[in-house]
Chain A
């Protein structure tokens, strides 16, 4: 059930720090995720970042997406243009904008493009013929429940439809990594379910497909993710909090045997309580 083994790194942050002017927002962010292989299955990874607001989750995400240059440190991802090394995966390179899919909190889209136009635009650099693109887009529109609104503009869509379009754009742009900032905020139950389904769909289509998301909903994080980071303010020696975001705790749900379960168990609920306690204290 829980057997897996790991290969080379698929995402790594080294001593990451961001300042706005003189104000340090995040610092000392270090983590590494390894490629996970499960015998007989295709398994991308789902990584969650939780933390109270203002702790720097969005800032960290912008750095991981290559949209913002950190003041210190760097973010590394596999360089798929090079040959993989046996047992170690692909050599790493610094992330650049466009390497990683990014869906912001407001599900921003091009306001002047219909869903269909937007998806064509996302695929503009794919080496496929127009017919192949058309066929692919049609299939996705059906699978993602967007068929009926394909000719509508973002302002004519519901929040859920906008979000699915924003995710789909990144999927079709062939980003292996998709970073989503609070993908569950402001959605109703049905839409939350469809985003969860999308997560599973994405992570089971390609070995290296990696979803990184942030949320305030700890149950959701524990339910979906196989790795959870808590971003918060670290406690100083005098007992006060230092107001600069960093990783205060990491949970590897794979190692704890809690990943890839269909049902939440008591262990899961205990973990939820544990994470909440860490969040409150940071």
Chain B
């Protein structure tokens, strides 16, 4: 923790120094701060809330969908479906967007669905990994206590790996968060951080862009921290990572 804060101070110091010259690619902290104040006055908080809302909505939908698929994957009939869906993550999203566009017209709904499709494919992949890693011993242990197939699924796969689901969520959220902002700036709806980026982009306002990047990074890190905290406080036995 101490070491980390030391590095942060050094980095910010370097930013001050490196941008104090005449001509520069990167705006100085003062500009970024001004950009930040601008953004704040334009309702940054509302935009963040809008992005978080979108994130939450898409996450919930895709988690429900992915869990259903992943939990069914040990059943032989469903295995190929789960595998096939997991492979779909190599599909280009433009294609998906194109077809989605034919079904939904409203930009917000569109954003949600693009994200749901995208996230689900990644979730399914990670969840299948988690389920595959369950050892034969764990399954046999349950069987030796006369657990039926469904009890094995419930006790070992579902309850026994609940903390992993939260961790998968956390890990995938990094890429989702990045993607979300991009989606917001491509499929422009009323608000969101992506819209702010796009607008700043148009006016070549460097200070604002840097400020926004920092805000997006911090919010992302905040979500990450929160999910990790949630996992550790809900599941005392969880020792994934640290």
Question: Do A and B associate with each other?
Answer: yes
Q: Is the CB of B236 within 8 A of A110?
A: no
Instruction: Determine whether the beta carbon of A102 is less than 8 Å from that of B140.
Output: yes
Q: A97 contacts which of B137, B144, B163, B236 (Cβ < 8 Å)?
A: B144
The one of A106, A125, A155, A175 that contacts B237, using a Cβ cutoff of 8 Å: A155
Pairwise interchain contact B146-A125, C-beta atoms closer than 8 A: yes
Chain B residues within 8 Å of A97, by CB: 143-144, 146
Proximity string of chain B (153-179) to chain A, C-beta cutoff 8 Å, 1 when within and 0 when not: 001100110110000000000000000
Give the distance to chain A from B57, nearest Cβ to Cβ, in Å: 29
B3 contacts the other chain (CB 8 A): no
Closest Cβ neighbor of A169 among chain B residues? B145
B34 interfacial by beta-carbon distance below 8 Å: no
Alpha-carbon distance between A62 and B136 when the two chains are bound, in angstroms: 11
Q: Is the CB of A153 within 8 A of B237?
A: yes
How many residues belonging to B are interface residues under a CB distance threshold of 8 Å? 21
> What string of 1s and 0s marks CB contacts (under 8 Å) between A91-113 and chain B?
00000011011101010111110
Given contacts A106-B137, A111-B160, is CB(A98)–CB(B144) below 8 Å? yes
State which residues 106-128 of A face B: CB under 8 Å. Answer: 106, 108-112, 121-122, 125
- Total cross-chain contacts (CB, 8 A): 61
State whether A156 and B237 are in contact (beta carbons under 8 Å apart), knowing that A98-B146, A112-B160 are contacts in the complex.
yes
Q: Which chain B residue shows the least CB distance to A98?
A: B146
In this assembly, does A183 line the interface, its C-beta being within 8 Å of a C-beta of chain B?
no
| Chain B interface, DSSP helix/strand/loop, else mixed | helix
Q: How far is the CB of B151 from chain A (nearest CB, A)?
A: 10
The answer, yes or no, to whether A209 is at the interface (CB within 8 Å) is: no
Residues of B within 8 A of A111 (CB): 138, 160, 237
- Taking a contact as CB atoms under 8 Å apart, the answer to whether A109 and B237 are in contact is no
Expressed in whole angstroms, the minimum distance between the Cβ of B135 and any Cβ of chain A is: 7
> Roughly how many angstroms separate A160 CA and B156 CA in the complex, as a whole number?
23
- Asked if A232 is at the interface of the complex by the 8 Å CB criterion, the answer is no
Query: 21 A-B Cβ contacts within 8 A?
Result: A65-B140, A67-B140, A67-B143, A67-B144, A97-B143, A97-B146, A98-B147, A100-B144, A104-B137, A104-B140, A106-B137, A109-B141, A110-B141, A110-B160, A112-B162, A122-B145, A154-B237, A155-B239, A166-B141, A173-B145, A173-B146
